[in-house]
């Protein structure tokens, strides 16, 4: 039996026509990737599931506005990020942000900090990030992962540009401290053995 996989453009056309099977196929194709996006803006899996539902509702309600400029994957991600930010604003929720190590390694950071970040395994890095205050995690995620400018962050979070810049600076400083504390603790544990 031959499996037929529809292209995004075919599914988009079918979704615009209201085809439920095409909507399900599109949902099935993007649900895992978009759930990860939602987890990055939620405090738990239940909230992420709510965000996932709201995001797909927005995708299907606005799919006819996709103009085939840029990737559909990028358009869907942008709809989801905006949907998550709307969810946070409307529910007055703090956020948990899922950053990758490569997202925070920067040329202008102290080389030892970048080397320390790079040496961490993913679970340790996620644990260090989770100790940042919620506002810092949100700013880090929007700036490093989503590539938002300070102007876009300010507009989306309804804060000033100065607050965005200040929060990012404080977040990076706190991240450095958390990494240093982590390695100090690891050194003590190794010495105690």
Continuous H helices in the chain: 8-16, 20-39, 45-62, 72-91, 101-104, 111-119, 122-130, 134-140, 150-157, 161-192
Contact assessment for residue 124 and residue 182, using Cβ atoms and an 8 Å cutoff: yes
Q: Taking every pair of C-alpha atoms in the chain, what is the biggest distance, in angstroms? A: 66
- The yes-or-no verdict on residue 80 having pLDDT over 70 is yes
Percent of the chain surpassing pLDDT 70: 77
- For the stretch 93-136, pLDDT in tens is 544 344 444 444 444 455 555 566 666 777 777 778 777 877 78
* Ordered structural domains, the chain, with CATH: 8-91 (1.10.1740.10), 101-192 (1.10.10.10)
Instruction: Identify which of 95, 92, 94 has the alpha carbon closest to the alpha carbon of residue 37.
Output: 95
- Average the pLDDT over each of 84-88, 116-120, 180-184 and give the range with the smallest value: 116-120
Q: Average pLDDT, whole number, for the chain?
A: 80
Instruction: Identify which of 88, 72, 83 has the alpha carbon closest to the alpha carbon of residue 26.
Output: 72
- For the stretch 155-173, pLDDT in tens is 888 889 999 999 999 988 9
- For the stretch 23-64, pLDDT in tens is 999 999 999 999 988 887 777 789 889 999 999 999 999 999
pLDDT score, position 117: 63
């Amino acid at each position: 039996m031959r499996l037929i996989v529809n292209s995004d453009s075919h599914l988009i056309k079918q979704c615009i026509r209201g085809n439920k099977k095409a909507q399900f196929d599109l949902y099935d194709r993007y649900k895992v990737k978009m759930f990860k996006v939602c987890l990055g803006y939620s405090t738990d899996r239940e909230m992420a599931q709510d965000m996932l539902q709201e995001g797909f509702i927005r995708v299907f309600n606005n799919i006819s506005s996709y103009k085939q400029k840029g990737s559909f994957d990028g358009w869907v991600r942008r709809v989801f990020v905006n949907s998550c930010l709307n969810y946070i604003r409307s529910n007055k929720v703090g956020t948990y942000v899922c950053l990758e190590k490569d997202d925070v390694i920067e040329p202008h950071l102290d080389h030892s900090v970048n080397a320390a970040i790079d040496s961490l395994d993913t679970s340790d890095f996620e644990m260090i990030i989770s100790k940042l205050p919620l506002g810092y995690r949100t700013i880090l995620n929007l700036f490093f992962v989503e590539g938002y400018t300070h102007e876009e962050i300010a507009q989306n979070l309804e804060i000033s540009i100065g607050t965005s810049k200040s929060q990012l600076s404080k977040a990076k400083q706190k991240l450095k401290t958390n990494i240093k504390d982590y390695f100090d603790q690891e050194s003590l544990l190794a010495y105690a053995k």
